[in-house]
Amino acid sequence: MKQLLSVCLLFAMSPAIAPMSAEPQNKDEVAKMTLKVGDKAPDFTLLSDEWKTVKLSDYHGKKNVFLAVYVLAFTGG
Amino acid sequence: MDSPAANAAFAKQINIKFPLLSDMNRKMLTAYGILKNYDTHGDTYQWALRANIVVDKDGIIRHIEGGDSAVDPNTAVSICTDLHKKQTAK
């Protein structure tokens, strides 16, 4: 498993400013997803949990990348 | 959005071995079209969709799913596994 998934980048988000007592209205769940299979993945630069800069393009020619975007992740905000 | 510090505490807690990234300014989420607006109580809040995306070594998207189906990572894992097999068979 470890060798198959060359690298997995996990995005953790939490709605720090959202009112937790209210259920959000969900109007267009996937309507904004415009990227599709075969498209070039937009490059990005983000900070890791070790405060290191991680660029998607750093993995080009080296590893496949599994991006997992988590909402209301496990960090508690 | 969680800060790198919050992510670091979580990564240590569950012994994560891969980068845990923070998209504090929502640039990546916007670029990938997975940031959506939720209207509630007269205000609009921005949350991300749950999403799984597989990008190959050439930077090409090989799998992308968002919403409820992305809660289960098995499809993305399977595609990633097949991709790896094809690459190593060359």
Chain A residues with CB under 8 Å of B64 CB are 33, 35-37
Chain A nearest C-alpha distance from B5 (Å): 6
Domains held by chain A: number: 1
Please measure the distance between the N-terminal and C-terminal CA atoms of chain A and give it in whole angstroms: 29
Asked whether residue A23 is domain-assigned, the answer is no
Answer yes or no: are the C-beta atoms of A60 and B58 closer than 8 Å.
yes
Decide if pLDDT at A54 tops 50. yes
pLDDT in tens, A4-49: 444 555 554 433 333 333 444 455 444 467 899 999 999 999 999 8
Asked whether residue B1 is domain-assigned, the answer is no
B24: Cβ contacts below 8 Å, ≥ 6 apart: A47, B1, B3
Residue with tokens 């992308």: B64
Pick from A5, A7, A45, A68: which is nearest to B49 by CA? A68
What H or E segment, with its residue span, contains residue A45? Answer: strand A45-48
Answer yes or no: are the C-beta atoms of A47 and B3 closer than 8 Å.
no
| Cα–Cα distance for residue pair A75/A35, rounded to 1 Å | 28
Asked whether residue A50 is domain-assigned, the answer is yes
Asked whether residue A26 is domain-assigned, the answer is no
Q: Is A8 exposed, middle or buried (0-12, 13-18, 19+ CB in 10 A)?
A: buried
Asked whether residue B42 is domain-assigned, the answer is yes
Q: What is the pLDDT of residue A49?
A: 86
Chain A residues with CB under 8 Å of B60 CB are 38-41
Instruction: Tell me which residue range forms the domain holding B83.
Output: 26-89
Q: Which residue of A has its CA nearest to B11?
A: A49
Asked whether residue A38 is domain-assigned, the answer is no
pLDDT in tens, B32-51: 998 888 888 899 888 888 89
pLDDT in tens, B51-76: 999 999 999 999 999 888 888 888 99
